[in-house]
Amino acid sequence: MNQTQKYKTVITSEHKLFDLHLKETLQYRDLIFLFVKRDFTTKYKQTVLGPLWALIQPLLTTVVFTIVFGNLANLTTADVEGDYVVPGFLFYMIGNVCWSYFSSTLNSTSSTFLSNRGIMGKVYYPRLVSPIATAFSRLITFGIQFALFLAVWAFFLIRGGTSIRLSPMPLLLPLLLLQMMVLSVGCGTIISAATTKYRDLSMLVDFGLQLWQYACPIAYGLQLVPARWTGLYMLNPVTPIITTFRYAVFGFGYFDLGYYLISWGVSIAVFVTGLVLFSRIERTFMDTI
């Protein structure tokens, strides 16, 4: 037997904990790009309004939020007491745009194995390509919705309903986006790994996300949360993202470096856990799914 020959790939029964195929995934970046393109182009096929749906959705939700939480329930939209208050419409809209990116990414990455089992059962590619592509294709939708928000904001500025305040905080925006991505993909991959065995979790995702939304300051300002609960409330990793995002956009609001760093810590921990679980499950999930 020719033992001296070098082989490029070795498939073994053993698995190292941190063997995440990251380098290989990077080699498949063309596939990530094509998946993103496919997701986006096929999503609105055979719809009359097409990508306009990406705009209608946040607008309608924001209108409902403005009526229900703003006018009927009259909840505060201030994050910090005595601070300048933005019009409710803008407040709800930015919160919804962020949340819908987070929740839709989490939701669809959580069903990675289930919805791709047809193709994954027939051909190999680094499985991580799928959730990554999902995160990016949702980012396009986010971009469209954020542009819509900017347009609405500009409309309010011209009409004189609000003012603009300059600060270095907008520089944080890319970091915040990255964090949303990391956290949602992390949660999604953990759930996707678990759903190969326990389908219950896929039931929980929709429902859980609905509840989670109310645990985040989207329909109300941080001011509504009693001071003694703030510490606990801020441990929800999404909360600092949302408040900081609002601060970064509007130029005022709530920002606490401590909580923000904790939120990053949680995000990274979730992400790494997700990747490890994912790469563990991906090897044999076809046998159990």
Partner 1 sequence: MEESMLKIDGVSKTYRLGQIGGTTLREELQRRRAKRRGLEDPTRKIGARSHADGEVFTALDNVSLEVKKGERVGLIGHNGAGKSTLLKLITRITAPSAGRIYLNGRVASMLEVGTGFHGELTGRENIYMNGAILGMTKKEIDAKIEDIIDFSEVRQFIDTPVKRYSSGMYVKLAFSVAAHLNSEIMIMDEVLAVGDMAFQNKCIEKMVDVSKAEGRTVLYVSHNMSTIRQLCKRVVVLSHGKVVYDGDVEEGIGVYSGMNLSGDWKIDYQRHPELRWSCGQVVRIRSVEFVNQSYFQVASSKIRMRIRWQSERHVDNVCLRVEVKKPDRTIIGTACGFGINAREDELGEEATFVLDSSGLVPGGYTSNYILFTTDSLGSNTTLDCVRGLDFELVGSDSGFIWNPVNWGHIRFPDLVLE
Q: Which residues bind partner 1 (CB under 8 A)?
A: 1-2, 5-13, 15, 28, 30-31, 33-34, 38, 41-42, 45, 119-125, 196-200, 283-284, 286-289
CB 136 within 8 A of CB 32: yes
Closest distance between partner 1 and the C-beta of residue 272, in Å? 22
Token digits for 129?
A: 């390509």
Closest distance between partner 1 and the C-beta of residue 278, in Å? 14
CB 256 within 8 A of CB 240: yes
Task: CB nearer to partner 1: give 194 or 225.
Answer: 194
Task: CB nearer to partner 1: give 47 or 210.
Answer: 47
Q: What is the CA radius of gyration of the chain?
A: 21
Closest distance between partner 1 and the C-beta of residue 15, in Å? 7
Residue 180 DSSP one-character state:
H
Task: CB nearer to partner 1: give 113 or 146.
Answer: 113
Closest distance between partner 1 and the C-beta of residue 196, in Å? 7
Residue (of 115, 63, 121) closest to 88 by Cα position:
63
Q: How far apart are CA 87 and CA 77, in angstroms?
A: 8
**Residue with tokens 């810590």, as numbered in its chain:** 265
Task: CB nearer to partner 1: give 29 or 165.
Answer: 29
Angle at 279 between CA 273 and CA 281, to 5 degrees: 100
Closest distance between partner 1 and the C-beta of residue 284, in Å? 5
Task: CB nearer to partner 1: give 224 or 289.
Answer: 289
For CA atoms 35, 37, 38, 44, the dihedral sign is positive
